[in-house]
Structures are given as C-alpha cells and as structure tokens.
Amino acid sequence: MPELSIIFVSREVLLESLCMINIDKHVQHWLGGVEKSWEDAELLLKGKRYDFGAYAAHLALEKILKAHVTRVTGDIPPRTHDLRYLAKLSEIPFSPEQDELFQRLNEYQLEGRYPEVDKPPLIGEVVLRNIQSAREMFKWLKQQL
C-alpha cells in the first residue's frame, strides 16, 4: 500500500498557490466602472439629486482607491467603503485637508446606502463644494496610476 504523507500549509500559502492573482487584471477591474460612476455622479448632481450624486462620487473614488491599493499591495483590497482607510492602504501621502475630504465623502456613502439613517437633508451648496474637491482628487488619482 502506498505511503500517505500529510503536509500542513497555512491558509495564506494555500490560497496563494491556488489562485495567483493577476494584479493588472484586478486594477483594470476597479478602473472599469470608475468613469461611469463619476458620470452618474455628475448627472445626478445636475438634477439636484444630491444624495445619490454624492454617493456615486464616493463610489468612483472608492473604486480608484481600490485600484491603487491593489497595485501597491499586490493583493485584492479589503471589503470596505471607508475612503480614509483605503487612502492609508494606498500609501499615497495625502494632506490633512484631503483626509478631511475623505471623511466628509464617507458620510455621503452612508446616506446613499442607508437612507433610513436619521440625518438632516444634504445642503446642495455644501455637497457641490465637496464634489468639486472630489472631482480634482479623482482626476489626480487617475493620473497617479
């Protein structure tokens, strides 16, 4: 009877050997819908749908940050919508003002995902100011890839 050998490997080693990820493919996956998300944001904001327009802008930034995280870490980004956390993982040196912008935009994704959360309605002028800053950030992040 043949001898049976048992080899113990960590979960990480097993997953790595079973599914070597193609980094470029995953970066392209995140970038694939980024322009559409930004276009959706612009259309919704023009129609004064500030809640979902701000949500779509957040989503576009989330996707582009996940592309950066994938490129830097060589791995699939974590399942999170927190722009501040993704920005930290991307290893891009963001300013305190940019970090504050990510925090403000994080609030918009909560509004879009969970509208039943008891929050005051969004103020159009404030949203549009934040989205203007997000637009500049979006363009800059695209150039960095």
Average pLDDT over residues 80-88: 96
Q: Give domain status of residue 124, yes or no.
A: yes
Of residues 122 and 37, more confidently modeled? 37
Asked if the structure places residue 8 within a domain, the reply is no
DSSP assignment of 59-118: HHHHHHHHHHHHHHHSSPPPS---HHHHHHHHT----HHHHHHHHHHHHHHHHHH-TTS-
Tens of pLDDT along 32-79?
Answer: 989 999 999 999 999 999 989 999 999 999 999 999 999 999 999 999
In a domain, 95, yes or no: yes
69 within domain boundaries = yes
In a domain, 102, yes or no: yes
The domain total for the chain is 1
**How does pLDDT run across 11-28, given as a tens digit for each residue?**
555 455 555 678 889 899
Residues 91, 73, 144, 89, CA torsion sign: negative
On whether the CB atoms of residues 54 and 105 are closer than 8 A, the answer is yes
Residue 66, domain CATH = 1.20.120.330
13, part of any domain: no
pLDDT band at 138 (very low <50, low <70, confident <90, very high): very high
Does residue 10 form part of some domain? no
Contacts of 104 (CB under 8 A, 6+ apart): 130
Place of tokens 């049976």: 4
In a domain, 93, yes or no: yes
Domain range holding 88? 20-144
Model confidence, pTM: 0.82
Sequence-distant (6+) residues with CB within 8 A of 53 are 40, 41, 42, 43, 44, 45, 47, 127, 131
At residue 21, the pLDDT reads: 74
Q: Which pLDDT value is given to residue 13?
A: 53
